[in-house]
C-alpha cells in the first residue's frame, strides 16, 4: 500500500508541474505579444497634488479692488464738516445752559 500511495502522489506532483509549465508558457507568449502598459500610463501624465491645487486656485474669483474717487473723498469731507458744525452748535448751546445754571445757583 505504501508504494501505491507514493505513486499516486508522484503522479499528482508531475501533473502539477506540467500544468505550471503550460501556464508559464502561455503567459509568456501572451505578455510578449501585447504592448507594455507602463508606456500608456506615462503618456497620460497624472497631475500632481500641486498642479491640482494650482488649477483650483485659477478658478477662484479674485476680489475687486476699491477705487478711491475724488468725489467720494469730497462727499466724506462735506459730511465731516457738517457733523463738526452741528457739534459746535451743540457745544455753544450747552455752554449757554451752563452759564444760565451758574447764574441761577448764585
- Give the tens place of pLDDT for each residue, 58-104: 999 988 887 767 777 778 888 888 899 999 999 999 999 999 999 98
- All three cell numbers of 62: 479674485
From residue 51, give the alpha-carbon distance in Å to each of 17, 25, 36, 60: 51, 44, 27, 15
As a whole number of angstroms, the distance between CA 95 and CA 92 comes to 5
Distance of alpha carbon 33 from the chain centroid = 44
21, pLDDT greater than 90: yes
Residues with Cβ < 8 Å from 89, sequence gap 6 or more? none
Residue 53 has pLDDT above 90, yes or no: yes
With cut-offs at 50, 70 and 90, classify the pLDDT of residue 14. very high
Q: What's the number of CA atoms in the CB half-sphere (13 Å) around residue 62?
A: 4
Task: For 28-48, write each residue's pLDDT tens digit.
Answer: 887 777 665 665 555 567 889
Provide the 8-state DSSP code for 34: S
The gap from C-alpha 84 to its chain's centroid, in whole angstroms, comes to 50
Model pLDDT, residue 41: 57
Domain ranges of the chain: 1-60, 67-106
Amino acid at each position: 500500500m505504501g508504494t501505491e500511495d507514493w505513486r499516486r502522489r508522484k503522479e499528482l506532483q508531475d501533473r502539477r508541474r506540467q500544468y505550471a509549465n503550460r501556464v508559464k508558457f502561455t503567459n509568456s507568449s501572451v505578455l510578449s505579444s501585447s504592448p507594455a502598459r507602463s508606456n500608456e500610463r506615462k503618456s497620460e501624465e497624472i497631475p500632481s497634488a500641486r498642479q491640482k491645487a494650482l488649477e483650483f486656485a485659477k478658478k477662484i474669483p479674485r476680489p475687486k479692488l476699491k477705487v478711491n474717487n475724488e468725489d467720494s473723498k469730497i462727499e466724506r469731507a462735506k459730511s465731516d464738516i457738517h457733523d463738526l458744525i452741528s457739534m459746535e452748535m451743540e457745544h455753544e448751546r450747552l455752554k449757554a445752559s451752563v452759564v444760565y445754571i451758574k447764574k441761577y445757583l448764585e
